[in-house]
Amino acid sequence: MLLEIYRRAALIRQNDIRVIKEIRAGRLVTSYYSPRGQEIIPSAVSVSLDERDKICTIYRGTHDMLAKGFPLKPLWGELAGRISGSCKGKGGTMHLTHPESGCMVTTGIVGSSMPIATGLGWAAKLDGQGAVSVAYFGDGAANIGAFHESLNMASLWKLPVIFICQNNRYAEHTSFANSTAVERLSVRAAGYAMPGVTIEGNDPEEMYGAAKVAIDRARAGEGPTLIEALTFRFNGHVLGDAAAYIPSAELEKAKAADPVPKLRQRLLDDRVSDLAGIEEIESAIAERIEQAVAAAYAAPTPGIEEMKRDVFAHELA
């Protein structure tokens, strides 16, 4: 299980490093909301999800998508705005979508993953096949009306939805303390008669365990769960944000506890894998990313005619 989590987390980390490198080199032109520091959460959740299950996430969501199985080539095609992108280059970094892997919606609107995941949960319940949906969102989104409407509806209808709040302590530039009246968001679950837990999202076993309980509960028809996964955002809100509003001691402390190398070391210490095994995983990831990047840049940009396509199911005249 830990090794499966690491495979995903290492992919997310390497991918994030490469995206930032490409942006800084001027080869990728996109606003980018780095998930650095939050890799463990979706990695530990996704090992309990399968192809039936669907996720909705937000603009800081490449980690959620990659963990669920979003393939690299269409991902990079999309980041680069190429016709080879999963969305033919028309969605971009903030709207990554790949239904085949269950990645249904990436929204650029804070809080909007939740109502749609609720609807996916309704569909899953009607289907009766035991599928679940996951709504990923941040701590800022817990203060928007859609959060409350969605939790209430999902609980009332006992829908198989897992609400996973990645509490990275900052809603854009505003600290959790300055934006949120409660100390623990999980207490809000009680207001909607569903289980709510606050856990260390960067601890793979804790995250895995909490997600597994919630997913099993949802599959069994017992309804939704709210998980507040504590984490930290290493790269500010949007790439280029110097994040002066984060006290440097706080940021340094979080970075010192970087969960990805920590898990790597854990695998070695516990002899889950030897160094050669880990390095093999990592170099395979690097190779896949390299191929995806090269394929993206080699692909053409979408033609102007694409603006007449997909506005509706039929092409515009």
Partner 1 sequence: MEMQKLNAIQAINLAIDHAMAADAKVLVLGEEVGDFEEGGILGVTKGLSTKYGSDRVRSTPISEQAIIGAAIGAALGGYKPIAEIMLMNFMTVAMDMITNHAAKLRFMSGGQTGVPIVIRTLTGTGFGNGGQHSDYLESWFAHTPGLKVVAPSNPVDAYGLMRSAIDDPDPVIFIENLASYWNTAEVSGEIVPIGQAKIVRKGADVTIIAHSLMVGHSLAAAESLTKQGIDAEVVDLRTIAPWDQEAVLASVGKTGRAIVVHEAVREHGIGAEISAVINERLFGRLKAPVQRLGGMFSAVPFAKPLESAYAPSAAAIEAAALSIAKE
**Binding site residues, partner 1, CB under 8 A:** 54, 56, 85-92, 95, 97-99, 104-105, 107-109, 112, 114-127, 133, 145-146, 149-150, 152-153, 156-157, 309-313
Q: How far, in Å, CA of 54 to CA of 181, rounded?
A: 31
Cβ proximity to partner 1, 206 vs 310, nearer residue: 310
Residue 167: CB minimum distance to partner 1, A: 22
Residue 77 dihedral angles phi and psi, to the nearest 5°: -60, -40
H-assigned helices in 71-230: 72-79, 113-127, 145-156, 176-179, 204-219
Residue 239, both tokens? 């790439």
Q: CA 120, 182, 232: angle at the middle one, nearest 5? A: 70
Instruction: Find out whether 38 and 64 touch, Cβ atoms under 8 Å.
Output: no
Residue 17: CB minimum distance to partner 1, A: 26
Cβ proximity to partner 1, 119 vs 259, nearer residue: 119
Residue 93: CB minimum distance to partner 1, A: 11
- Which has the closest alpha carbon to 61: 82, 31, 90? 31
Sequence-distant (6+) residues with CB within 8 A of 280 are none
Cβ proximity to partner 1, 37 vs 119, nearer residue: 119
- Which has the closest alpha carbon to 62: 52, 28, 48? 28
Residue 147: CB minimum distance to partner 1, A: 10
Burial status of residue 53 (CB atoms within 10 A of its CB: 0-12, 13-18, 19 or more): buried
Residue 166: CB minimum distance to partner 1, A: 20
Cβ proximity to partner 1, 142 vs 153, nearer residue: 153
Cβ proximity to partner 1, 18 vs 98, nearer residue: 98
Cβ proximity to partner 1, 109 vs 238, nearer residue: 109
Residue 312: CB minimum distance to partner 1, A: 5
Q: How far, in Å, CA of 72 to CA of 289, rounded?
A: 7
